[in-house]
């Protein structure tokens, strides 16, 4: 206990400060490296039960027994070859960096295959410790590993851990310390490497075979099975979740349930927050009046900054704070790779990679994360397709906007049980629509601009694991809250101030804002929206969260001031400004199909290293959105 406490208190060590020892964590994908990393450093890296969750290196420092260690969590790889980008990162790191010790993490359940990787790492780095993770699970599955014998065969210390329960972590720290200080000597077992040159790409097949043979030999000496070793035969859950009859329906029902819980659960906190913020707003007015703050300052601070900020917090925060913890649970359970498995055929037909469904799922959280996640796709052309189309998944900042519009215009503003089901079903239809659009665009791209080579599909399906419910929910809740609040302060507050200024600075007899909106109005009307909405989308470039607050502020500056603490009042405000069902539909279309936010654009630029593709991924959805809105609004006008 003491060591851990010591450790926690030292987490705030300045990362710039040099460390005494450098340690890297390496291993096959999805063996729990990030969980070990978190346990060692006290950091809170995201973890998930699927291959490719970590695609970037992350570093953290910790002080163990007065020595400062710099830990680097490397992306999981199957070998030392550089077939995909995140693997190249790992290989280069292990082949060129000077490190004091490598912690090689393996999944004890599948030790034989993992050992190939262990041997590969050992051929590059002598000082290492083997961490047999998920030991408890392996024991339950009847896998017995002779730790001492294994240690002798590899020439390095071996530690059993169960990272989620934090058992074995202290021992790991001790062993690590001894290796770094030279108290424990690792030795190179030459017979393990005869005839193997890991860095020679030409000899890959031979290498793999040799490594597999050596691993098998070592396993025969060190691993015994109590029960039938083919435990993974038992895949009754997968039989249901990937079956012909139930696979797709279960997936849809799961997402519908997720949306339903989000819509119902978010409604109450949203309302409470609005009431609270409005109360504070009234008090602030009184306070500002009492201390005789100039009218201009009151306007910019309360009507501008405060209003936008609180809107983002009260409307955006609750849905996200409910959706993401639930989504993290699904992620931890290991269900995501099954979605990729179920849908792969569609993706294959569209010239895309099955793993694209994983990056799309990430995109629901944040398009920038989704775009970075595309590194798990090996073929450059397929990766580019996934990067360019990721924006069609409504992210964090757009999701609540969709919920709000659906609630006001399609579910009846009196929020009841039936309305909440409607919201969930409509939202599900929209997401399915998004997936179809993504597939369609992927197909188009793959037969036109991105004809390049296709990579194969070889996806590992990890066993289902019971998520650590409480821990995941709390961490995800906090992370999400901080994320949304952070964006609110950084983007929404200045945006609020700017909008208020443009609405209140007059040139001639109309405000700067109305000049802009009037200018955009004819174009907006043409596509079923209006000038204000178009301007809101343009100004929402830094963050999609602020699109709706901008719309509200613009309307409020031209009409008499009114309260909008509930969806009914908001609907009243929007209707007073000419919103109809057509506007709502077009708004939803535009919300999904427009340029990615600035952060996503920068990420696309970074990942594609091409301005051309960055511009393409901004222009393509925008043009599509405009055309679709134009068509839909004109058709709807005929009928309504």
Partner 1 sequence: MVKTMNDVCTLNNLPLYKSGLILSIKCKDYLINRIFDMGILENTMIKPLYRSPFGDPTAYLVKNTVIALREKDSKYITVTPIN
Task: Give the nearer residue to partner 1 in terms of CB position, either 320 or 459.
Answer: 459
> Which residues, 238 to 257, sit near partner 1 by CB under 8 A?
238-239, 242-244, 247-248
Q: 540 near 549, Cβ under 8 Å? A: no
Output phi, psi for 69, to 5 deg.
-110, 135
Q: Rounded to the nearest whole angstrom, what is the least distance from the CB of residue 350 to partner 1 in the complex?
A: 13
Residue 461 near partner 1 by CB under 8 A: yes
Of 396, 251, 262, 370, the C-alpha closest to 326 is 262
Q: Is the dihedral of CA 43, 46, 50, 56 positive or negative?
A: negative
| Beta-ladder partners of 370 | none
> Which residues, 334 to 353, sit near partner 1 by CB under 8 A?
341-342, 344-346, 348
Q: Rounded to the nearest whole angstrom, what is the least distance from the CB of residue 121 to partner 1 in the complex?
A: 13
DSSP 48: -
* Binding track, positions 61-80, relative to partner 1; x by CB under 8 A: -----------------xx-
Q: 241 near 146, Cβ under 8 Å? A: no
176, with CB counted inside 10 A (0-12, 13-18, 19+), is buried
Task: Give the nearer residue to partner 1 in terms of CB position, either 112 or 271.
Answer: 112
Residue 231 near partner 1 by CB under 8 A: yes
> Which residues, 370 to 429, sit near partner 1 by CB under 8 A?
378-379
Mark the segment that binds partner 1 (CB under 8 A) among 66-74, 233-241, 510-518, 631-639. 233-241
Of 638, 630, 591, 626, the C-alpha closest to 409 is 591
* Binding track, positions 264-303, relative to partner 1; x by CB under 8 A: ----------------------------------------
DSSP 231-283: GGG--HHHHHHT-TTTHHHHHHHHHHHHHHHHHHHHHHHHHHHHHHHHHHHHH
What tokens were used for 82? Answer: 């550089």
* Binding track, positions 91-110, relative to partner 1; x by CB under 8 A: ------------------xx
Q: Rounded to the nearest whole angstrom, what is the least distance from the CB of residue 376 to partner 1 in the complex?
A: 12
Work out which of 304, 354, 365, 373 binds partner 1, going by CB under 8 A: 354
Work out which of 12, 98, 190, 205 binds partner 1, going by CB under 8 A: 205
By three-state DSSP, how is residue 603 classified? helix
Work out which of 2, 230, 290, 639 binds partner 1, going by CB under 8 A: 230
Residue 229 near partner 1 by CB under 8 A: yes
Q: Rounded to the nearest whole angstrom, what is the least distance from the CB of residue 461 to partner 1 in the complex?
A: 4
Mark the segment that binds partner 1 (CB under 8 A) among 234-242, 317-325, 485-493, 497-505. 234-242
d(CA 408, CA 425): 15
Q: Rounded to the nearest whole angstrom, what is the least distance from the CB of residue 90 to partner 1 in the complex?
A: 12
Q: Rounded to the nearest whole angstrom, what is the least distance from the CB of residue 343 to partner 1 in the complex?
A: 8
CA atoms within 13 A on the CB side of 497: 8
Residue 359 near partner 1 by CB under 8 A: no
- Quickly tell me which residue has 């990030």 as its tokens: 34
- Please tell me the count of residues contacting partner 1 according to CB under 8 A: 47
Mark the segment that binds partner 1 (CB under 8 A) among 204-212, 260-268, 384-392, 486-494. 204-212
Task: Give the nearer residue to partner 1 in terms of CB position, either 378 or 530.
Answer: 378
580, with CB counted inside 10 A (0-12, 13-18, 19+), is middle
Q: Rounded to the nearest whole angstrom, what is the least distance from the CB of residue 119 to partner 1 in the complex?
A: 13
Q: Rounded to the nearest whole angstrom, what is the least distance from the CB of residue 214 to partner 1 in the complex?
A: 12
Work out which of 139, 149, 271, 460 binds partner 1, going by CB under 8 A: 460
Q: 182 near 146, Cβ under 8 Å? A: no
By three-state DSSP, how is residue 208 classified? helix
Task: Give the nearer residue to partner 1 in terms of CB position, either 33 or 594.
Answer: 33
Residue 81 near partner 1 by CB under 8 A: yes
C-alpha dist (Å) from residue 274 to 311, 561, 565 = 8, 16, 5
Task: Give the nearer residue to partner 1 in terms of CB position, either 156 or 343.
Answer: 343
Mark the segment that binds partner 1 (CB under 8 A) among 150-158, 277-285, 309-317, 448-456. 448-456
d(CA 64, CA 3): 7
Q: Helix H segments across 72-167?
A: 85-96, 111-124, 135-140, 147-154
Q: 165 near 136, Cβ under 8 Å? A: yes
What tokens were used for 639? Answer: 């009928």
Q: Rounded to the nearest whole angstrom, what is the least distance from the CB of residue 216 to partner 1 in the complex?
A: 9
413, with CB counted inside 10 A (0-12, 13-18, 19+), is middle
Q: 370 near 388, Cβ under 8 Å? A: no
DSSP 142: T
Q: Rounded to the nearest whole angstrom, what is the least distance from the CB of residue 427 to partner 1 in the complex?
A: 23
* Binding track, positions 111-150, relative to partner 1; x by CB under 8 A: -xx--x----------------------------------
Task: Give the nearer residue to partner 1 in terms of CB position, either 179 or 343.
Answer: 343
What tokens were used for 147? Answer: 């730790």
Q: Rounded to the nearest whole angstrom, what is the least distance from the CB of residue 198 to partner 1 in the complex?
A: 12
Residues within the interface to partner 1 (CB under 8 A): 78-79, 81, 83, 109-110, 112-113, 116, 204-205, 208-209, 212, 229-233, 235, 238-239, 242-244, 247-248, 341-342, 344-346, 348, 354, 378-379, 453-463
């Amino acid at each position: 206990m003491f060591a851990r406490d010591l450790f926690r208190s030292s987490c705030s060590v300045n990362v710039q400060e040099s460390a005494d020892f450098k340690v890297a964590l390496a291993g096959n994908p999805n063996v729990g490296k990030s969980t070990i990393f978190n346990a060692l450093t006290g950091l809170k890296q995201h973890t998930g039960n699927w291959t490719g969750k970590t695609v970037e290196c992350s570093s953290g420092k910790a002080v163990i027994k007065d020595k400062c260690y710099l830990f680097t969590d490397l992306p999981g790889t199957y070998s030392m070859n550089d077939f995909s980008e995140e693997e190249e990162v790992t290989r280069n790191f292990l082949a060129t960096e000077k490190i004091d010790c490598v912690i090689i993490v393996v999944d004890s359940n599948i030790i034989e295959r993992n050992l190939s990787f262990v041997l590969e790492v050992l051929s590059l780095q002598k000082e290492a410790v083997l961490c047999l993770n998920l030991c408890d699970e392996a024991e339950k599955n009847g896998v017995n590993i002779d730790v001492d014998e294994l240690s002798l065969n590899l020439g390095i210390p071996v530690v059993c851990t169960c990272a989620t329960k934090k058992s074995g972590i202290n021992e790991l720290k001790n062993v690590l310390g001894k290796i770094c200080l030279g108290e424990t000597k690792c030795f190179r077992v030459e017979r393990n490497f005869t005839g193997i040159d890991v860095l020679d790409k030409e000899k890959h097949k031979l290498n793999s075979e040799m490594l597999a043979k050596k691993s098998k030999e070592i396993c025969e000496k060190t691993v015994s099975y109590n029960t039938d070793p083919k435990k993974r035969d038992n895949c009754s859950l997968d039989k249901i979740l990937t079956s012909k009859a139930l696979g797709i329906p279960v997936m849809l029902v799961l997402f519908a349930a997720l949306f339903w819980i989000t819509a119902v659960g978010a409604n109450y906190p949203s309302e409470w927050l609005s009431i609270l913020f409005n109360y504070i707003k009234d008090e602030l007015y009184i306070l500002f009046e009492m201390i005789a703050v100039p009218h201009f300052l009151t306007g910019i601070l309360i009507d501008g900054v405060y209003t936008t900020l609180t809107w983002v917090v009260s409307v955006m925060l609750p849905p996200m704070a409910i959706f993401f913890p639930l989504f993290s649970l699904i992620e931890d359970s290991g269900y995501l790779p099954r979605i990729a498995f179920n849908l792969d055929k569609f993706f294959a037909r569209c010239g895309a990679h099955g793993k694209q469904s994983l990056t799309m799922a990430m995109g629901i959280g944040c398009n920038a994360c989704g775009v970075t996640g595309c590194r798990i796709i090996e073929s450059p052309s397929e990766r580019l397709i996934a990067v360019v189309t990721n924006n069609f998944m409504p992210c964090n900042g757009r999701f609540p906007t969709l919920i709000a519009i659906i609630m006001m215009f399609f579910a009846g503003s009196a929020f009841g049980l039936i309305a909440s089901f409607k919201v969930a079903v409509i939202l599900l239809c929209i997401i399915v629509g998004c997936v179809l659009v993504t597939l369609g665009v992927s197909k188009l791209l793959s037969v036109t601009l991105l004809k390049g080579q296709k990579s194969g599909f070889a996806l590992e399906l990890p066993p289902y694991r019971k998520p650590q419910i409480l821990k995941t929910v709390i961490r995800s809740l906090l992370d999400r809250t901080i994320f949304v609040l952070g964006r609110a302060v950084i983007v929404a507050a200045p945006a609020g101030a700017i909008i208020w200024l443009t609405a209140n600075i007059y040139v001639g007899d109309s405000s700067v804002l109305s000049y802009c909106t009037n200018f955009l109005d004819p174009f907006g009307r043409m596509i079923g929206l209006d000038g204000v909405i178009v301007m809101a989308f343009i100004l929402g470039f830094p963050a999609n969260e602020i699109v709706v607050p901008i719309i509200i502020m613009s309307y409020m500056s031209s009409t008499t001031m009114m309260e909008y603490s509930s969806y009914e009042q908001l609907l009243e405000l929007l209707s007073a400004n000419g919103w109809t069902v057509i506007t709502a539909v077009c708004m939803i279309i535009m919300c999904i199909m427009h340029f990615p936010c600035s952060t996503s654009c920068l990420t696309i630029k970074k990942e594609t290293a091409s301005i051309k593709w960055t511009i393409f991924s901004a222009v393509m959805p925008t043009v599509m959105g405009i055309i679709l809105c134009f068509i839909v609004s004109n058709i709807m006008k005929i009928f309504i």
